[in-house]
Amino acid sequence: MSEDQEAQEDELLALASIYDEEEFRRAESGQEGEIHICLELPSDFKLSVKGEKCAEYSVSFLPPLILSFELPADYPSSSPPLFTLSSKWLSRAQLAALCKRLDEVWEELRGSVVLFSWIQFLKEETLMFLDIQSPLVVVNAGDAPADRKKSEAGLKADPPLDPRAVQEMDPSSDTLSQLLDFDETQRQKAFETRVFCCGICFVDKLGSGCLLFKECQHVYCKACLTEYFQIQIRDGQVQCLNCPEPKCTSLATPSQVKLLVGEEEFARYDRLLLQSSLDLMADVVYCPRKMCNTAVMLEPDTTMGMCPSCQYAFCTLCKRGYHGLSHCTPTADELKGLRDEYIAATPEGKKFLEQRYGKRVIQKAVEESFSREWLKENCKNCPRCGTNIQKVHGCNKMTCMSCQQYFCWICLGTLTRVNPYSHFNNPNSPCFNQLFQGVALEEENFWSDEED
């Protein structure tokens, strides 16, 4: 084996031992390969879109520079490696400048292997060499290259750049999206290899078994969050899938929820999340039919809803069949609570209730409510027929004016017609010696009931 071949083999073996398979790839046959070089970005490095002054995005990773090479038979003694340099975010002019610098490094090291020196330069000095600072201005793929613009304008284009400089920007997609997607993927890879202590079970676990809340950066293990999410979804609390950290309001994204729970639970989560969003929309109601419950969009200034699924026309106020301009007819349960609702309402609320039910219905509900309260406070029901009875004066042996039943005012027990007072004279009775219990002193000489 010649000295050049031996030097090449040693260099390729050294590179394979330094870099993993994602960074260094050698062809199965021949002395050629490909090196993916990720630049070391400073902290808080940002991207900005050309023409958008306020839009800046923090990134930790940018797509790698790709150095494809082929080693000639007389490398390194005479010839340099043949190479191309490509990138998804550097311009061709910037890539051409880097190619020229690689040529200069070869001239400085002529006769020695040079690939590792090239890699170190590209990895550590590219940003400084090209004077790239944060924020890096990204040109959208849809923007026409300068040469094409000049050609369309009838001007002479600039001289062709170095053919070894290859720009891999996809003109059919947005450049910024490609860069942000790559950064997200690399961040996730870095996260999965780190160790975190779960704030719930306090067990150290790899990031691959954990979930990161993006907004607050708190980390919990997937096992604990899965159980937490499942409980919340079963209880219908889909708006509460937030970070378990006390007082933290960061919410899990739908993709994170889908990653942890089963298909059936995620379908319920998705449905309830949509429903809660619709509930916040003033122009959306639900069909009142229990077997339908379809969301219905309302026309402005109308109280009629028409379900697009079952074609049911209903009043959006009382949720019963549409009754035109007639007032809503309250149910017995609604009528009971109408008085309290009306009294506690604001002037606007009272006006709305009057328009909905009518003033006469409101007045009747208020009067009946006051009557019910007075009867509840001042009367008791006959134990036989249930008639409301008020005790004005006299002893505790009562006579119902409706069914003529004798009963005890204290315990509401029925009394015999032969000797109703035995209930108060029997030592085993709960009301023993309480015939005049609660009677005012001035009433003690009133004996009309005993004379019956």
Query: What does the pLDDT look like over 211-263, one tens digit per residue?
Result: 998 888 899 999 999 998 888 888 887 777 889 888 888 888 888 888 888 88
Chain-centre distance for alpha carbon 378: 54
pLDDT band at 98 (very low <50, low <70, confident <90, very high): very high
My answer on whether 300 and 347 are in the same domain is no
Residue 98 lies in a domain: yes
Residues 222, 257 contacting (CB under 8 angstroms)? no
Q: What is the pLDDT of residue 443?
A: 45
Q: What is the pLDDT of residue 336?
A: 65
Identify the active-site residue in 210, 221, 287, 395: 395
Mean pLDDT estimate for the chain: 82
What H or E segment, with its residue span, contains residue 221? strand 219-221
Q: What is the pLDDT of residue 368?
A: 67
Q: Name which of 74-83, 132-141, 360-369, 385-394 the model is least confident about.
A: 360-369
Write the pLDDT tens digit of every residue in 50-94: 765 567 888 889 999 999 999 999 999 999 999 999 998 888 899
Q: What is the pLDDT of residue 63?
A: 92
What H or E segment, with its residue span, contains residue 18? helix 3-18
My answer on whether 292 and 274 are in the same domain is no
Question: Which structural domain, as residue segments, surrounds residue 211?
Answer: 193-279
State how far the Cα of 188 lies from the Cα of 207, in Å rounded to an integer: 9
Q: What is the pLDDT of residue 120?
A: 93
Residue 186 lies in a domain: no
Please state the length of the chain.
452
Q: What total number of domains does the chain contain?
A: 5
My answer on whether 29 and 164 are in the same domain is yes
User: Exposure of 116 by Cβ count < 10 A (0-12 exposed, 13-18 middle, 19+ buried)?
Assistant: middle
Residue 437 vs residues 245, 373, 414, 434: alpha-carbon distances, Å: 62, 25, 17, 5
57: which strand partners? 47
307 catalytic per annotation: no
Q: How confident is the model over 273-283, as a mean pLDDT?
A: 67
My answer on whether 19 and 158 are in the same domain is yes
Percentage with pLDDT > 90 across the chain: 27
DSSP H helices in 110-208: 115-129, 146-152, 175-192
More confident residue, 139 or 225: 225
Q: What is the pLDDT of residue 144?
A: 45
Rounded to two decimals, what is the model's pTM?
0.53
The pLDDT of residue 445 is above 50: no
Q: What is the pLDDT of residue 452?
A: 42
pLDDT band at 334 (very low <50, low <70, confident <90, very high): low
pLDDT band at 269 (very low <50, low <70, confident <90, very high): confident
CATH of the domain at 128: 3.10.110.10
- Residue 265's identity, in one-letter code, is E
Residue 188 lies in a domain: no
CATH of the domain at 225: 3.30.40.10
Torsion-angle region of 143 (φ positive above 0: left; ψ -120 to 50: alpha; else: beta)? beta
User: How many CB atoms neighbour CB 448 within 10 A?
Assistant: 9
Q: How confident is the model over 22-33, as a mean pLDDT?
A: 86
My answer on whether 249 and 374 are in the same domain is no
Q: What is the pLDDT of residue 126?
A: 93
My answer on whether 58 and 28 are in the same domain is yes
Q: What is the pLDDT of residue 51?
A: 62
Q: Mapping DSSP to helix (H, G, I), strand (E, B) and coil, where does residue 39 land? A: coil
User: Exposure of 252 by Cβ count < 10 A (0-12 exposed, 13-18 middle, 19+ buried)?
Assistant: buried
My answer on whether 87 and 140 are in the same domain is yes
My answer on whether 289 and 200 are in the same domain is no
Q: Mapping DSSP to helix (H, G, I), strand (E, B) and coil, where does residue 446 land? A: coil
Residue 309 lies in a domain: yes
Residue 446 lies in a domain: yes
Residues 294, 288 contacting (CB under 8 angstroms)? no
User: How many CB atoms neighbour CB 79 within 10 A?
Assistant: 14
Residues 116, 15 contacting (CB under 8 angstroms)? yes
